[in-house]
A = this chain, B = another copy of it.
Amino acid sequence: MSNYKIKPSILPGFMELLPIEQRKFNDIVEKITKVYEENGCLPIDTPIIEKAEILLAKNAGETEKQVYAFQKGSNNLALRFDLTVPFARYTSQYFNDLNFPLKRYQIGKVYRGERNQRGRYREFYQCDVDIIGKDKLSIKNDALVISLASKAFKSIGLKDYKFQISNRKILSALLSSLNIESSIDVMILIDKYDKIGEQTFKEELDKLVNKESAKIINKVININGSKDKVLEELELLNIQDEKFTLGLNELKEVTTTLEVLGVYDSEYIINLKIIRGLDYYTGTVFETLLINNEEYGSICSGGRYDNLAENYTNNILPGVGISIGLTRLFFVLKEIGFVESYKLPSKVEYLIIPIGDTLKYCGEVYKKLTESGKAVEMYFEDDKLKKKLNYANKLEIPYVILLGEEEEANKSINIKNMITGKQETLKFEDIF
């Protein structure tokens, strides 16, 4: 037993909460889970450690540098950096045992050794839904996953969010109709629009395309207003290109289905500047900003992809996915005061405090209460009454039951409402 103490600390970039905040975090997880499940999503849980060759099968680009990879024995291992790659592996592996269309959700921690910055975490929760079809999948599902995010936010009482929805086919077709060779560079530039600002964007764009094209691109990506207005203006561009028409029709179908699923027009805008980087998305893409707190970036993103698991299987698995980055969202919700005002009652309703040698009687009361479904805690420590009441106060337990020898003799209970302070003695048989 050494007297030398190691300073207790965790690694930078890892979020850890005190119990009072952890309860709120878990409550949010529970509510998101409920929304996912009641909408038909099935849970899976994949290992946090996988074979490196599986996780890095697809060139993960920038992300790859951030992966926690290591050896154990002769195995090359890595910690998952998202939940999509493991899901692709999972779907291929158990393909014959799964029902399609498959709606799966997974809530779990992922790992990225990012540069340490405020609000960026190296271990963080993702709350993912992906809907996968065998060979085909209706575009209506793109609206469905957005509606799940909408329901999730509503279920936790979050109001000030706005989905930013686009369809990559539209811009991509526009760029090819303009015969732009460096269309990927232009897409990357548009993706950075909000970061670099209008002025820099225009300067950079002028380096990539001619004046006429720049004008059109600037016009199109800045189309805004109500969804009907945006859709109409896109129509009026009159671009005769199959892919453009397809993208526009998909976008229309998404907005129609959003209405069917109860998502209000006020919850989203069409924003053609949304690209979602060089990710694997091929159609619908979306992000979510907090109104008046846009600088925190997207709290929930996703989109449509053509083929989930091409690295592991020949089956064609188109899908659409959504991910709520919960650790980051919780950080933001703390910053904007939402967490503090998020009130959760104590799970415990009654604290029984034995006074003197009344344990057996306490047991009788305890049994009656728990058998009727109440959540009851008993205070066991030999402390002063003040300290015992203080325990109930700190944990916000609404009722304290004091059971002394008098109560035992009279078969009564002395109950104190910790909010009003009202204290009364009731007969045991009157209550139970």
Contacts and interface: CB of A to CB of B under 8 A. Distances in A.
Contacts of A49: 11, 14, 68, 79, 111, 122-123
Contacts of A137: 381
Given A26-B43, A260-B366, 12 more contacts: A5-B314, A14-B49, A19-B44, A20-B42, A39-B376, A48-B123, A70-B71, A101-B380, A138-B381, A260-B363, A261-B378, A262-B366
Nearest to A102: B19
B312 A370 contact: no
A73 B68 CA distance: 10
Interface in A105-129: 109, 111, 113, 122-123
A360 B43 CA distance: 30
A334 interface: no
Given A70-B70, A360-B260, A366-B262, A47 B5 contact: no
A415 B358 CA distance: 58
Interface in A376-426: 376-378, 380-382, 391, 394-395, 397
Contact of A136 (B9, B26, B123, B381): B381
Interface stretch (A87-95, A207-215, A269-277): A87-95
A372 interface: no
Interface stretch (A50-58, A163-171, A290-298): A50-58
Contacts of A54: 6, 8-10
**Chain B CB within 10 Å — which of A43, A45, A54 has the most?**
A45
A376 to B, nearest CB: 8
A431 interface: no
A397 B71 CA distance: 45
Contacts of A257: 359
A362 interface: yes
A40 interface: yes
A7 B14 CA distance: 33
A259 B136 CA distance: 60
Interface residues of A, number: 99
Contact of A123 (B37, B47, B313, B377): B47
A54 B104 CA distance: 37
A380 B318 CA distance: 14
B360 A10 contact: no
A110 to B, nearest CB: 11
Contacts of A380: 101, 138, 140-141, 144
Interface of A: 1-2, 5-11, 14, 16-20, 22-23, 25-26, 37-40, 42-51, 53-54, 57, 68, 70-73, 75, 77, 79, 89-90, 92-94, 97-99, 101, 104, 109, 111, 113, 122-123, 133, 136-138, 140-141, 144, 256-257, 259-262, 309-314, 347-348, 351, 359-360, 362-363, 366-367, 370, 375-378, 380-382, 391, 394-395, 397
Nearest to A7: B312
Nearest to A68: B72
Contacts of A347: 37-38, 40
A54 B37 CA distance: 38
11 contacts: A8-B90, A9-B54, A9-B89, A19-B98, A22-B44, A38-B375, A40-B351, A68-B70, A70-B70, A101-B391, A137-B381
A39 B136 contact: no
A79 B68 CA distance: 12
A8 B89 contact: yes
